[in-house]
Amino acid sequence: MYGIEDGTKTVIGTTFNPNTAKAGNQPIKIWLDQKLSPKVGLEFYCFQENGRNIVIVEIEAAKSIPVKFDTEAYVKI
In 3D space, the residue among 5, 9, 34, 31 whose CA is nearest the CA of residue 18 turns out to be 31
Alpha-carbon distances, residue 41 vs 14, 24, 37, 57, 59 (angstroms): 23, 22, 11, 10, 6
pLDDT tens, residue by residue, 21-59: 999 899 999 999 999 888 888 899 999 988 999 999 888
Spatial separation of the C-alpha atoms in residues 17 and 36, rounded to whole Å:
20
Q: Where are the domains of the chain?
A: 1-77
pLDDT tens, residue by residue, 3-15: 888 899 889 999 9
67 pLDDT higher than 90: no
User: Which pTM was predicted?
Assistant: 0.75
Q: Compare 64 and 77 and report the one with higher pLDDT.
A: 64
In 3D space, the residue among 9, 30, 6 whose CA is nearest the CA of residue 18 turns out to be 30
Position 1 confidence tier, pLDDT thresholds 50, 70, 90: low
